Amino acid sequence: MKAVKTLGQFIIEKQAEFPYAKGELSRLLRDIGIAAKVVNREVNRAGLADLALDNGFINIQGENQKKLDVYANEQFILALQQGGECCVVVSEESDEYIDIDSEISKNAKYIVAIDPLDGSSNIDVNVSVGSIFSIYRRKTTDGRASIKDVLQRGSEQVAAGYVIYGSSTMLVYTTGKGVNGFTLDPSLGEFCLSHPKMRIPDDGVIYSINEGYYAHFPDGVKKYIKYCQVEDVATNRPFKARYIGSMVADLHRNMIKGGIFIYPANASDPKGKLRLIYECNPMAFIIEQAGGKASNGYERILDLEVTELHQRTGIFIGSKNMVNKAEEMMRRFSPIT
C-alpha cells in the first residue's frame, strides 16, 4: 500500500534541496495549488453556473472573454496577493502587469506569469482546459518591481507548471530538478503525487498541429507534416494526428505518450499565436526538464529575448527527436534568410 504524498508535503520535502531557501518559493507553490483547487471546482460546474458563457468583453488577445476566464484570473491573483510572496503578476487576461503593492507583499521577491485558463473556448464543449504558471525571481532589488523584472528570458525561470482540468485534475510542475505530477483527490481535497519524475519519450508517433491552416504554413512545416504522413515501418510512420486545440491538454498527452506539438509562425500569424511569457516559456521549461525540446523552429524557446508582455512566438515542442526532425525541415525548406 503506497503512502499518499500531498503537494504540500512534497514541496516541503523538496525545499531542503534549495540552499538558503527560506520557504518563500514553497509558500508560493502552495498558494498556486490552492487557486487551482478553487478554479477546478468552478470548471467542473461551468455549465451549471453559466460560467462557460462569454461575458461580452474582448481581452487584449482579441478573444471573447469567458466568465470563467475572469473568475480564474481573479482567483489566481487573489491567492498570490494573499500569499505575500509575489510582487508582480503578469496575466493573459490583464493588459498591463499587476503590481501587488501591499503591506504583506512589500518584501516579496517573485514574479508570477499566468495563463489562468488556457483553451477556455473549449469549456462550453466540455473539452479539457488548463492553467499555466511561470515563476521568476525579481532582478531589481530596490523599490517597486519594474518591467525589467518581468521581461526576463525563459531560462531565468525558477519554477513553472500547469494544471489540466480533464478527466482528472492534475498539477504538473518543475523547479529545475525534474518534473512531478500530482492528481487531485476530491475525497481529500488535496493534490497527491501520482506521476513522480515525469519523462517525455525521446520519440513518439503523435503529431499535433492545426492542419486547417496548412496553406499558411512555411514550407518547412508543410514538409514535416508530409514526413509524418508517409508510410515507413522502420520509423513507425505514418504518425497519428491528434489536436485538441487546448495547448495544456495537447502537451500533457505528448508528455505521457511522446509526440510533437507545433504552432508555427505562419502567413496569418507572422509572429505565431501562442504567448511567450505565460504559455511557451513555462511549457518549454517543463518539457526540457522532462527530457524534451522546445524551439521556435530555429532557436531554443528559453533563450528567446523577451521584449513585450504579450509577445508571441512560433513553437515546436515535445519529444526531442521529433523536434530535431522538424527543425531539420525548417532549416532545409524555410531557412532564415
Q: Which residues of this protein are in contact with ligand P6P, per CB under 6 A?
A: 118-119, 121, 210, 245-247, 273-274
User: Does the annotation flag 25 for ligand binding?
Assistant: no
CB of 129 to ligand P6P, least distance (A): 8
Cell of 312: 508571441
User: Does the annotation flag 250 for ligand binding?
Assistant: no
- 3-state SS, residue 171: strand
Pairwise CA distance, residues 24 & 65, whole Å: 33
Which is nearer to ligand P6P, 51 or 280 (by Cβ)? 280
User: Does the annotation flag 117 for ligand binding?
Assistant: yes
CB atoms within 10 A of CB 274: 20
The helix or strand, by DSSP H or E, that contains position 87, with its residue range, turns out to be strand 86-91
Question: What one-character-per-residue DSSP string does 215-275 give?
Answer: GGS-HHHHHHHHHHHS-BGGGTBSPEE---S-HHHHHHHHHHH--EEEE---SSSTT-SSB
Pairwise CA distance, residues 222 & 333, whole Å: 9
Which is nearer to ligand P6P, 111 or 274 (by Cβ)? 274
Distance of CA 297 to the CA centre of its chain: 18
User: Does the annotation flag 257 for ligand binding?
Assistant: no
Cell of 184: 487531485
CB of 118 to ligand P6P, least distance (A): 5
Which is nearer to ligand P6P, 84 or 264 (by Cβ)? 264
User: Does the annotation flag 328 for ligand binding?
Assistant: no
CB of 77 to ligand P6P, least distance (A): 20
Which is nearer to ligand P6P, 100 or 206 (by Cβ)? 206
User: Does the annotation flag 295 for ligand binding?
Assistant: no
User: Does the annotation flag 219 for ligand binding?
Assistant: no
Torsion angle defined by CA atoms of residues 316, 73, 30 and 178, in that order, rounded to the nearest 10 degrees: 0
Cell of 240: 497519428
Cell of 243: 489536436
The helix or strand, by DSSP H or E, that contains position 284, with its residue range, turns out to be helix 281-289
CB of 244 to ligand P6P, least distance (A): 8
User: Does the annotation flag 101 for ligand binding?
Assistant: no
Q: Is the peptide bond before 335 cis (omega within 30 degrees of 0)?
A: no
CB of 191 to ligand P6P, least distance (A): 22
CB of 232 to ligand P6P, least distance (A): 27
CB of 274 to ligand P6P, least distance (A): 6
Which is nearer to ligand P6P, 253 or 320 (by Cβ)? 253
Which is nearer to ligand P6P, 28 or 68 (by Cβ)? 68
Which is nearer to ligand P6P, 92 or 190 (by Cβ)? 92
User: Does the annotation flag 273 for ligand binding?
Assistant: yes
- 3-state SS, residue 166: coil
Pairwise CA distance, residues 215 & 291, whole Å: 32
C-alpha distances (whole Å) from 230 to each of 73, 223, 224 are 43, 11, 10
Please state the residue numbers annotated as binding site for substrate: 118-121, 210, 243, 273
Please state the residue numbers annotated as binding site: 92, 115, 117-121, 210, 243, 273, 279
Please state the residue numbers annotated as binding site for Mg(2+): 92, 115, 117-118, 279
